[in-house]
Amino acid sequence: MTEQNQSVKPTLLSVKNLKVSFKGENKTYIETVKGISFDIPANTTVALVGESGSGKSVTSLATMGLLPKEQSRIDESSKILFEGKDLLSLSPREMRAICGKDIAMIFQEPMSSLNPVFTVGDQIAEVLRLHLGMGRKQARTRTLELLKEVGIPSPETKIDAYPSQMSGGQQQRVMIAMAIACEPKLLIADEPTTALDVTIQKQILDLLETLQKKREMSMLFITHDLALVGEIADQVIVMRHGEIREQGTVTEVLENPQDIYTRALLKCRPQMSERPFKLPMISDFMRQDGDQLIEDVHLSDDTKRQRSRGLTGDEQIILDVKDLKKSFYSRKGLFGKDEFQAVKGVSFQLAKGKTLGLVGESGSGKTTIGLLLMRLQEATGGQALFEGKDILSMSEKEFNQYQRKIQIIFQNPYASLNPRFTVGQILMEPMLVHNIGKDDAERERMAFDLLERVSLPAQAFYRYPHEFSGGQRQRIAIARCLTLKPEILICDESVSALDVSVQAQVLNLLQDLQDEFGLSYIFISHDLSVVKYISDQIMVMNHGDIVEIANSDVLYQSPQHEYTKRLLNVIPQATEQFS
């Protein structure tokens, strides 16, 4: 799409001086979106990019009229004009007539957006009956057509399936089908691919791009990942702290960014061609001086020199997994049962002080391996030898002595941190259970040391998980693991949902800990650029089998298996080209 063609398109949505405030703890309002203005032309995809807290999702919710009335306030001078009509001045009834029909939205987490007690067919048909007045039979016929259009396999069967019976990618396709059911003029996609593996992410991006062109609709694509922007957008808007820092065409913003913050964002993401000792962070490129951002590049030597990765074959082996298997069973008929082999007899070794990357699509078995090694699920067969002893066949009592040496960091730290415990209690509880420290005073001192180790202030000891950002919660989760002085850390998608700058902080922390304590990592992720950065060796899984295992540089430069080649071919390359 040429810039000349974009310039002559009529404006579909125009946001003018949007100011949104939320009620704080002392009942005063805090402004989170600070007078932003931008246009979305007809038949154009505009990407809204920024870190958590930048105001991008608040902007989309304001457009849809979904902000909580009791907790939020939009300034009287603000306007959101859709085809010249101010959405902020409409009654709830008038908004309902537009939202869902002319403006539709796809949310980040489809499972929390889909009703678990209704079939997906019923949920799509409800939109058709509500907005287009279709009868049940007509709505079902149209629902089948929509499921086919978004690429749902066997739509005649899936139309009667419940959300829980579908994969994450299929759930997201159902959400897209629901959003396009009434042929909207504007589709808002809020982080629609964040939790998806790289191949499904590529499929969803391609689907959205195809639908946008076929239906000639506009799209507002919201993301924190600049790598995706060049794949799908015509124009880019970069936000930070409720303000627009920069906007323009994809080429203008990614190839020649004018704003300090945009340049910093582009530099923070791990690059496939480089592996610095430390990833640069946004603070390495700029500093805040009052209300102004000042360009202040002060990269350390560790961000410039390159780290070599890989195994020589002479390393000490800390974990030796042999023929590991896991099957799940479901009832079939009255007396029979079906077997699903999630892990099909995999064997691998983890070298001491090294990182084994574990990659593959959803359902490949990579997370199951982590749960089996932690004995959070029971293995069907195989061995996992740690210090020469099989931890899978140990009694519960005997395994307790080894459990502290193998710890896991989950993807969602908020779900794995007790919301009723302060951070101090979260850190001290495992010490108490495993008799670490002679008394509470010593355990408290150790907890404060750990907070300093993961770059959190001492005051964090007295606060609760909900008072922290996602990146800070992940550091708390890492600190909790360190209380037991483990030798192996299993990182299960532990940075996948984080902003690029926060992701860089956590990856640097993990690397520092490995360098200092000689920790061994099993790093599970769907983000292949992150895996390449941190891994010495990479194991590729597909449908419960290992299809390839090699040193990270070797695997990325000359993959041997077709499945590995397919995974590498769908990595977003936008930031590689423009940084």
| Per-residue CA distances from 403 to 130, 356, 486, 553 (Å) | 54, 20, 9, 32
pLDDT (average), residues 103-123: 87
In this structure, of 166-180, 227-241, 423-437, 495-509, the range with the lowest mean pLDDT score is: 495-509
Query: Does the residue 339 lie in any domain?
Result: yes
Of 427 and 109, more confident:
427
232 pLDDT above the threshold of 80 = yes
Single-letter code of the amino acid located at 49: V
Going by C-beta distance under 8 Å and a sequence separation of 6 or more, which residues neighbour residue 49?
Answer: 56, 222, 223, 224, 226, 229, 236, 237, 238, 239, 265
Query: Which CATH number do you get for residue 494?
Result: 3.40.50.300
Please check whether residues 340 and 469 belong to one and the same domain: no
Name the strand (E) or helix (H) holding 195.
none
pLDDT of residue 335: 65
Query: Does the residue 421 lie in any domain?
Result: yes
Among the candidates 453, 485, 517, a domain finishes at 485
By CB atoms closer than 10 A (0-12, 13-18, 19+), residue 441 is: exposed
Query: Does the residue 363 lie in any domain?
Result: yes
Please check whether residues 326 and 401 belong to one and the same domain: yes
Please check whether residues 517 and 372 belong to one and the same domain: yes
Q: How confident is the model at residue 7 (pLDDT cuts 50, 70, 90)?
A: low
Range(s) of the domain holding residue 507: 273-405+486-579
Query: Does the residue 134 lie in any domain?
Result: no
3 pLDDT above the threshold of 60 = no
Q: Which of 231, 322, 281, 331 has the alpha carbon at shortest distance from 471? A: 281
**Within 13 Å and on the Cβ side, how many CA atoms surround 10?**
8
pLDDT (average), residues 556-562: 94
**What CA–CA distance (Å, rounded) separates 479 from 409?**
10
Query: Does the residue 505 lie in any domain?
Result: yes
* Assigned token pair, 141: 């016929």
**What CA–CA distance (Å, rounded) separates 296 from 363?**
44
Residue 549 near residue 516, CB atoms below 8 Å: no
| Highest-pLDDT range among 273-282, 491-500, 514-523 | 514-523
- DSSP line for 267-299: HHSPPTT--BSS---GGGTEEEETTEEEE----
Among the candidates 446, 468, 485, a domain finishes at 485
Beta bridge partner(s), residue 235: 46, 249
pLDDT of residue 575: 47
Q: Roughly what angle, to the nearest 10 degrees, separates helices 168-180 and 120-132? A: 10
For 184, the 3-state DSSP assignment is coil
Query: Does the residue 291 lie in any domain?
Result: yes
Percent of the chain with pLDDT over 70: 96
**What CA–CA distance (Å, rounded) separates 427 from 483?**
7
pLDDT of residue 529: 84
| Per-residue CA distances from 469 to 310, 447, 485, 498, 502 (Å) | 34, 20, 25, 10, 10
Provide, for the chain, the percentages of residues in helix, strand and coil under a 3-state DSSP scheme, each rounded to the nearest 5: 40, 25, 35
In this structure, of 224-228, 438-442, 484-488, the range with the lowest mean pLDDT score is: 224-228
pLDDT of residue 212: 93
Please check whether residues 391 and 514 belong to one and the same domain: yes
Residue 18 near residue 37, CB atoms below 8 Å: yes
The alpha carbon of residue 224 and the mean position of all alpha carbons in its chain are separated, in whole angstroms, by 9
Residue in the block written with tokens 């990659």: 359
Going by C-beta distance under 8 Å and a sequence separation of 6 or more, which residues neighbour residue 245?
Answer: 238, 239, 259, 261, 262
pLDDT of residue 195: 65
41 pLDDT above the threshold of 70 = yes
Query: Residue 163 carries which DSSP code?
Result: G
- DSSP line for 9-29: SPEEEEEEEEEEEEE-TTS-E
- The total of structural domains in the chain comes to 2
Q: Which of 478, 473, 483, 491 has the alpha carbon at shortest distance from 429? A: 483
Residue in the block written with tokens 């100011």: 19
**What CA–CA distance (Å, rounded) separates 557 from 554?**
5
Going by C-beta distance under 8 Å and a sequence separation of 6 or more, which residues neighbour residue 435?
Answer: none
Q: What is the pLDDT of residues 313-354, one digit of tens each?
A: 899 999 999 999 999 887 666 666 778 888 999 999 999 999
Please check whether residues 541 and 563 belong to one and the same domain: yes
Residue 126 near residue 119, CB atoms below 8 Å: no
| Per-residue CA distances from 412 to 475, 476, 493, 494, 559 (Å) | 12, 12, 8, 7, 31
Of 198 and 507, more confident:
507
Long-range contacts of 113-116 (CB under 8 A, 24+ apart): 113/175, 114/163, 114/171, 114/174, 114/175, 115/163, 116/162, 116/163, 116/164
* Assigned token pair, 134: 């279709």
pLDDT of residue 98: 93
Please check whether residues 400 and 497 belong to one and the same domain: yes
Please check whether residues 431 and 509 belong to one and the same domain: no
Among the candidates 469, 485, 501, a domain finishes at 485
pLDDT (average), residues 512-525: 92
- Rounded to two decimals, what is the model's pTM? 0.82
**What CA–CA distance (Å, rounded) separates 140 from 124?**
9
Please check whether residues 337 and 468 belong to one and the same domain: no
Average pLDDT, the chain: 89
Please check whether residues 398 and 420 belong to one and the same domain: no
**What CA–CA distance (Å, rounded) separates 406 from 420?**
25
Q: What is the pLDDT of residues 456-471, one digit of tens each?
A: 899 999 999 888 877 7
In this structure, of 269-283, 303-317, 332-346, 548-562, the range with the lowest mean pLDDT score is: 332-346
**Within 13 Å and on the Cβ side, how many CA atoms surround 281?**
14
pLDDT of residue 388: 87
Report the 10 Å Cβ neighbour count for 320: 15
pLDDT of residue 1: 43
> Cα torsion for 425, 428, 429, 430, to the nearest 10°?
140
276 pLDDT above the threshold of 50 = yes
Please check whether residues 384 and 333 belong to one and the same domain: yes
Report the 10 Å Cβ neighbour count for 493: 20
Q: What spatial distance separates the first Cα and last Cα of the chain, rounded to whole Å?
A: 22
pLDDT (average), residues 252-266: 90
What b/e string do you get for 371-403 counting C-beta neighbours within 10 Å, with b at 16 or more? bbbbbebebbebbbbbeeeebbebeeeebeebb
**What CA–CA distance (Å, rounded) separates 404 from 393?**
17
Q: What is the pLDDT of residues 52-90, one digit of tens each?
A: 888 998 999 999 999 998 889 999 999 999 999 999 999
Please check whether residues 509 and 390 belong to one and the same domain: yes
pLDDT of residue 42: 95
| Per-residue CA distances from 134 to 68, 125, 143, 147, 361 (Å) | 31, 9, 11, 17, 38
Q: How confident is the model at residue 196 (pLDDT cuts 50, 70, 90)?
A: confident
Please check whether residues 456 and 521 belong to one and the same domain: no
Query: Residue 540 carries which DSSP code?
Result: E
Q: What is the pLDDT of residues 382-440, one digit of tens each?
A: 999 998 899 999 998 889 888 889 999 887 776 788 989 999 999 999 999 888 888 99
